[in-house]
Amino acid sequence: RVSVDAAIAWLAERYPGHEIKEMPHNNPRFDVRVGPPNLPVLYVEVKGTQSASPSFWMSEGERLFSIEESARYLLIVVAGIDLTGEHAAVIHVRPGAVEGSDFELAPSQWRGTLLLS
């Protein structure tokens, strides 16, 4: 919640006059839309961590959507979240697809199905 609130505040400052709409929690591709549904300015994925490092978990569907919509995609990672409020978090912003030399990406899970005979 802290990361989404911080991202929405950041977006509101930079995109005045645009609708900033938080998506339902189970939206599979992005967390916040900037602009109207029929003509979005940005699709924003928000990640948050208490770590000072801007590390995050991302599904393959989210990553592929970032590639598909790279021209209108923004990743915001809110790092250093302190739930006591004693220290300010740092907002890291990266436009475009989640791929390339800006990222260290590694698969972390396997999806499997037990084949019954």
Mean pLDDT per block of 10 residues along the chain (117 residues) reads 94 96 91 96 96 93 96 97 88 95 88 90
pLDDT at 24: 94
Q: Which residue has the tokens 């911080």?
A: 6
* Contact criterion met (CB below 8 Å) for 38 and 29: no
pLDDT at 70: 97
* Contact criterion met (CB below 8 Å) for 29 and 65: yes
* Contact criterion met (CB below 8 Å) for 80 and 50: yes
pLDDT at 109: 84
pLDDT at 48: 95
pLDDT at 110: 83
Least Cα distance to 95 among 79, 73, 77, 78 occurs for: 73
